[in-house]
Amino acid sequence: VAGPGSTGAVASVEVLSAGLAAGGPTNFVAMDLKQAPASYRLDVVAYLELGLPAEAQAASAALALVAAAKRQLSAARALGGERGLSFRCYAPAGLDHAVCLPCSEDVAARARYHQLLRLPKVPLLLPECALPWADEPHSRAGGKLINPHLNCGPRPGWWKGSESTTRSVFIRGMYEYSHYMQDNTDDNGWGCAYRALQTSVSWYRMQYYTEKDIPGIQDIQRLLKRIDEAHKDIVIGSKKWIGTVEGMYLLQDYLGVECKMMYCQDTSDMASQVPQMLNHLATEGTPIMMGAGQYAYTLVGLCFDSASGEAGFMIVDPHYTGKDELKNITQKGWVGWKNLEWFEKMTEGGFINCCLPNAPAAPSTSEQLRPAVGARGVPR
């Protein structure tokens, strides 16, 4: 692997075609398949030094990947024998490096890895949590923008807080950004809380806490009609508003997660409760649904100066009606840092309600490290 005219080490990588069974072209030699050979699934990852020329990086990567593949193949033959063995690469939250693990499809093996790596007992090492190939989407992705807030920086551009007393905390993991006019539904002007709820549910899906689908707006209305006495007469398909309290009901019933409600009379009251919100992000790591006056938002990060009390809020705004173009969304502030004055304007001095959902508790021993809640589908 090297560019034209390059010098230095050149690594040659032999690729075995996967098209053998399909009758496609292959560089396999003639094989006697009367006795099927053991099947080994190898998965390798390599770190590259920043600043190297492209051809040097390619050569370094090839050498490292081939060496890693050889080590895995040797281990697979020793551990798996004729039964075969699978390796998968992971970059779990809480570790500063990737790991390649065998047999992660086995529940007992995952439990041992969690203990050895001191990982929390949440779904981090399921086979579907493995690092995807470069052109592969997240296995639970639905085609919407994922984590658009990452393009907004760790602190607001206007931040004046002290370096020593400023702390920034964000949700852990991934979510998809739901907003007005998606899913072939015109909810402009009334569907913001539905969209904020969908964003929250996507977080639980993408962390593999649940296999349940993200409910559509009419699905949410059906759920509310069933579980909430106040909405027993809701017309399915109507433009009925919902709020943060309804969002809490739905998270509790649909996903089975516990939620806390935080009621703020105004922005001054919310400012006094920022440390509680900061602690939620640091410990639970889940998105916070916010009802600010007549508007709904999702909070995915906080920047707080404990000395001055200054706070910045990373807001995902569901009121956006355009295409999923990241640059346009972040530059125009649909996803970005907001201050208390912005909330004061949005609420016109009114109330702010916050729904703080918990991450699900650790699974039971018999189901350890499987997805914790949910089954596929929504009621019809």
Show which residues are catalytic.
192, 317, 319
Contact 67, 112 (CB under 8 A): no
Question: Three-state SS across 50-116?
Answer: CCCCHHHHHHHHHHHHHHHHHHHHHHHHHHHHHHCEEEEEECCCCCCCCEEEECCCCHHHHHHHHHH
Burial class (CB in 10 A: 0-12, 13-18, 19+), 99: middle
Q: How many CB atoms lie within 10 A of CB 324?
A: 15
Q: Which residues, in sequence order, are CB contacts of 269 under 8 Å at separation 6+?
A: 352
Query: Bridge partners of 168?
Result: 303
Radius of gyration from C-alpha coordinates of the chain: 25
* Residue 299 parent element (H or E): strand 295-305
Answer left, alpha or beta for residue 55, where phi above 0 means left and psi between -120 and 50 means alpha: alpha
Per DSSP, the three-state class of 40 is strand
Describe the crossing of helices 192-206 and 217-227 by its angle, rounded to 10 degrees. 90
Q: What angle do CA 246, 249, 254 make, to 5 degrees?
A: 120
Q: Which of 262, 122, 144 is nearest to 204 (CA)?
A: 122
Paired sense of beta strands 259-264 and 288-292, if any: unpaired
- CA dist., res. 185 & res. 275, Å (int): 37
- CA dist., res. 47 & res. 283, Å (int): 30
